[in-house]
Amino acid sequence: MTEPSPTLVRSPVDRRPGRPRDEDIEERVLAATLALVDAGAPVTLGRVVAGSGASRAAIYRRWPSLTALLAAALDQGREVLRVPGDGDLRERLFGLYLDGPARVAESYTDARFRRRLQLTLADRALQRAYWDAHVNRRRLPVTELLQQGVAAGELRADLDIEATIDLINGVFYYQVIVRGENPLEPATRARCAAALDLVWRGMAAEPR
Q: Which residues bind a second copy (CB under 8 A)?
A: 114, 117-118, 120-122, 124, 127-128, 131, 135, 159-160, 162-164, 166-167, 169-175, 177-180, 191-192, 194-195, 197-203
Q: How far is the CB of 169 from a second copy (least distance, A)?
A: 6
Q: How far is the CB of 63 from a second copy (least distance, A)?
A: 20
Closest CA to 188 of 204, 199, 206, 174: 174
Q: How far is the CB of 143 from a second copy (least distance, A)?
A: 14
| CB of 26 closer than 8 Å to CB of 62 | yes
- How many Å apart are CA 159 and CA 152, to the nearest integer? 13
Q: Any bridge partners for residue 155, and if so which?
A: 204
What is the length of the chain? 208
Q: Which is nearer to a second copy, 96 or 168 (CB)?
A: 168
| CB of 71 closer than 8 Å to CB of 1 | yes
Q: Which is nearer to a second copy, 60 or 94 (CB)?
A: 94
Question: Taking the CA of residue 141 as centre, how many other CA atoms within 13 Å lie in the half-sphere pointing to its CB?
Answer: 14
Q: Which is nearer to a second copy, 63 or 113 (CB)?
A: 113
Q: How far is the CB of 44 from a second copy (least distance, A)?
A: 18
Q: Which is nearer to a second copy, 87 or 202 (CB)?
A: 202
Q: Which is nearer to a second copy, 56 or 114 (CB)?
A: 114
On the 0-12 / 13-18 / 19+ scale of CB atoms within 10 A, 61 is middle
Q: How far is the CB of 37 from a second copy (least distance, A)?
A: 13
